[in-house]
Amino acid sequence: MPSNRSVSDAPITQFVNCRILRDHKLQREDLWVREGRILDPEKLFFDEQGYADNRVDCEGNIISPGFIDVQINGGHGVDFSQASEDVGRGVSIVAKKILEDGVTSFCPTLVTSPYAVYHKVLPQVKVHNGGHHGAGVLGFHVEGPFISVEKRGAHPEQYLRSFQSGGFEDLMEAYGSLDNVAMVTLAPELAGSQSVVRELCRRGITVSLGHSVANLSQAEDAVKHGASFITHLFNAMLPFHHRDPGIVGLLTSDQVPAGRRVFYGMIADGIHTNPAALRIAHRAHPSGLVLVTDAIAAMGLPPGRHTLGQQVIEIHGLHAHIAGTKTLSGSIATMDMCVRHFKQATGCSVEEALEAASLHPAQLLGISHRKGNLDYGSDADLTLCDDALNIKATYISGEEVWRKQP
């Protein structure tokens, strides 16, 4: 076929022999990519008489949008909340390793820390695209220090803070800057939190509710001011009670403003949340479920003692506890493990399991116009997996960045 490359001379890649996740269902069609974006093949054929320069045989596997992890504290021996001289190097190590899990972009997460840690760590890692060097960084998720003492979980009490008269000024004093921050987790019952939620949302930063003893009306109030996420649902919040369901009640609240959706994170590692609780949440509000790993430095490491921020963590099997206690402290599950467990525990479709790790986090962060889907014009960040949701290969901007060795 003659070529008329009037639009672009960049090479075109055609993924063949695959099922692609588009419009919430697996469709048997090819996927076309040029200059890191997904192409509309009709326009390619009719407007340009274009053709593929490269063909990738997917051997009947599924192409999903790349996974997005909005809560990951570290992994493979790296703890993002440790203020080393080269935080960027640690983030890069994790970014490279999580390509194996199908993750193409993520939010490095900082747990409650001394102010000096935020001031040192936050400026060191800029938002950047992924590639052969590793998954892209979408901005930090800062979890704390403005959280509840009672529901602090693994967050050290001596570094927790409340909003004083300044509110937002207190937050800026803690973090130093919001330049590289994508999300903040706070407890909405803290006095002065409403103005902080409003200002963060005005700046385009996602506000999440977590580590909190808030009742439902306090949580609804925060959502009305712009909060849109719940940090690891069920964990580090008041348990569901029929007279006041607390933050959990947001899943079926009639006070969420029209046109808005509340998303919620779930650590589907089989440990943090009983499968029945996972099923209840999914059936109550399936379109808001976002899979997160909440992974700590010990992910990918053998059992033993490791760190999470200022705490020492003990690993036994898949359990991570603060040393000498029964307090859970993050997970050592990978994102692909969470996707598989979520599907198995809830009986949801393959499509739903994959969208909980891709489309929903992109919608939460307001980036679904370019990530989290396989629509024409979106970034060609792709995860290739088999029917059992085992990762076979990972692509960023249409380039293979990892492949499982046979």
What torsion, rounded to 10 degrees, do the Cα atoms 339, 345, 346, 350 define? 40
List the one residue out of 20, 8, 149, 139 whose CA is nearest residue 80: 139
Q: Helix or strand or coil: residue 134?
A: strand
**10 Å Cβ neighbour count for 335?**
26
Taking alpha carbons only, the member of 327, 388, 399, 359 closest to residue 64 is 359
Copy the structure tokens of residue 108.
């490095």
Q: In the structure, what pLDDT confidence band is assigned to residue 318 with cuts at 50, 70 and 90?
A: confident
pLDDT confidence tier of residue 309, bands split at 50, 70 and 90: confident
The structural domains of the chain, ordered by start, are: 12-64+374-403 (2.30.40.10), 66-365 (3.20.20.140)
Q: Hey, which residues are catalytic here?
A: 294
From CA 332, how far away is CA 57, in angstroms rounded?
Answer: 33
Q: Are 66 and 382 in contact (CB under 8 A)?
A: yes
- Give the highest mean pLDDT range of 7-11, 32-36, 51-55, 296-300: 32-36
Cα-trace Rg, the chain: 21
Q: pLDDT-derived band of residue 6, with 50, 70 and 90 as boundaries?
A: very low
Averaged pLDDT for residues 111-116 = 96
The pairs formed by 371-375 with CB atoms below 8 angstroms and a separation of 24 or more are 371/65, 371/66, 371/68, 371/104, 371/105, 372/65, 372/68, 373/22, 373/65, 374/20, 374/21, 374/22, 374/31, 374/38, 374/63, 374/65, 375/22, 375/38
The pTM for the full model equals 0.96
